[in-house]
Structure 1
Amino acid sequence: MEKHQASTPPARLILRDPVHFLAFGFGSGLSPKAPGTAGTLAAVPLVYFALALPFWAYVLLTLVIIIAGVWICDNSSKRLGVHDHPGIVWDEIAGLFITLLAAPAGLIWLAVGFVLFRFFDILKPWPIGWLDRQVGGGLGIMLDDVLAGIYALICLQLLALLLI
């Protein structure tokens, strides 16, 4: 059996266990190719509908997603016996929520935010990559995507200032 397949938990485990189900982005993290991108895609409809909320509610929801994510990712990771398993994508969901905080209305901005977040999440510019290697547990799993979301948020806001 291939190494990646051996470390991939069975779908029935992920889909039946509430913690794994959330950590794996409602099952999107089971994608055999680019689970981080699949997890971010799973966040798109959630963010789209959340953007209709009042700003304070969107911020509160984002904070809940981040704080709960530390526990969710830590718990799932420990139970799987793999720190930051590639299928754990709750952190990508949080990152996209951060990216689109106060984003201009429109699907184009959602798409641009998606691309910016994936760019920073994959590239991991300093200090994201360094922190990713230094911080363990659920906080470590979440922290690199929170920072990638902040970098993407800043870029998206600057882009909006220039174009609107």
Structure 2
Amino acid sequence: MRPLQRVAWLVATLGGIGRLRPAPGSWGSAAVLPAALLGPGWCLGLALLLGLLGYWASLRLLGEDAPADPSWVVVDEGAGQLLALAALPAATGGYGVLLAFLLFRLFDITKPGPVGWADRQHGARGIMLDDLIAGAMAALLLLLLRAVLP
């Protein structure tokens, strides 16, 4: 494997996490949970960074015509999970992080509405977009809960 292909593979698999079984997407989501300790601004910035790097890596490895999102590509789960974490208040507890994780995985697995639409898109755009939308939906729900609950 050429060096740039190797870098793309490392990005796409979050350093090999995408090869863990079972449920590589859940492992990829769980891998970024410690970022919640950095606070919402960092989570948002890291989500943007992983989103851009993930698009590049997916495009490089699979092209724009890839019909499906391979299970070993988990950078998209990492980026989406970081979006959900960005909606948590600074210094949130473990329950908040767990709720962000569960909501993101729920939207990522069940693919409601716009998540399902994005999942049907081909190539790197579709690979990244469905998880970013799932993360945004989880973040929106978390923000609504924060507004309603004390």
Normalising TM by the smaller chain, what interval? 0.7 to 0.9
Q: Which residue of 1 aligns with 2:142?
A: 156
Out of 107, 111, 115, the position equivalent to 1:120 is 107
Out of 8, 33, 36, the position equivalent to 1:48 is 36
TM-score by structure 1 length? 0.77
Relative contact order higher in (CA < 8 Å, ≥ 6 apart)? 2
Q: Which residue of 2 aligns with 1:12?
A: none
Quote how far apart the aligned CAs of 1:58 are. Answer: 4.2
Quote how far apart the aligned CAs of 1:39 are. Answer: 0.7
Count how many residue pairs are aligned between Structure 1 and Structure 2.
143
Q: Which residue of 2 aligns with 1:5?
A: none
**What amino acid maps onto 1:139 in structure 2?**
R
Q: Distance in 1 between matches of 2:112 and 2:94?
A: 27
Structure 2, unpaired ranges of 5+: none
Q: Which residue of 1 aligns with 2:85?
A: 100
Does the CA contact (< 8 Å) of 1:39 and 1:89 recur in 2?
A: yes
Q: Distance in 2 between matches of 1:158 and 1:63?
A: 22
**What amino acid maps onto 1:63 in structure 2?**
L
Q: Which residue of 2 aligns with 1:110?
A: 97
Structure label with greater radius of gyration? 1
CA RMSD of aligned residues (A): 2.2
Q: Distance in 2 between matches of 1:58 and 1:38?
A: 18
Q: Distance in 2 between matches of 1:126 and 1:102?
A: 21
Q: Are 1:34 and 2:23 an aligned pair? A: yes
Structure 1, unpaired ranges of 5+: 1-15
1:17-39 CA-to-partner distances (Å, cap 9, x unmatched) read: 22111211221110221111111
**What amino acid maps onto 1:99 in structure 2?**
A
Q: Distance in 1 between matches of 2:62 and 2:10?
A: 12
1:74-99 CA-to-partner distances (Å, cap 9, x unmatched) read: 22334xx8842111000000001111
Q: Distance in 1 between matches of 2:47 and 2:115?
A: 20
Q: Distance in 1 between matches of 2:19 and 2:60?
A: 17
TM-score by structure 2 length? 0.84
Does the CA contact (< 8 Å) of 1:36 and 1:89 recur in 2?
A: yes
With over 3 angstroms needed to count, the CA separation of the structure-2 counterparts of 1:82 and 1:139, relative to structure 1, is closer
**What amino acid maps onto 1:89 in structure 2?**
V
1:39-93 CA-to-partner distances (Å, cap 9, x unmatched) read: 1111112x23432x7x3x5433322221222111222334xx8842111000000
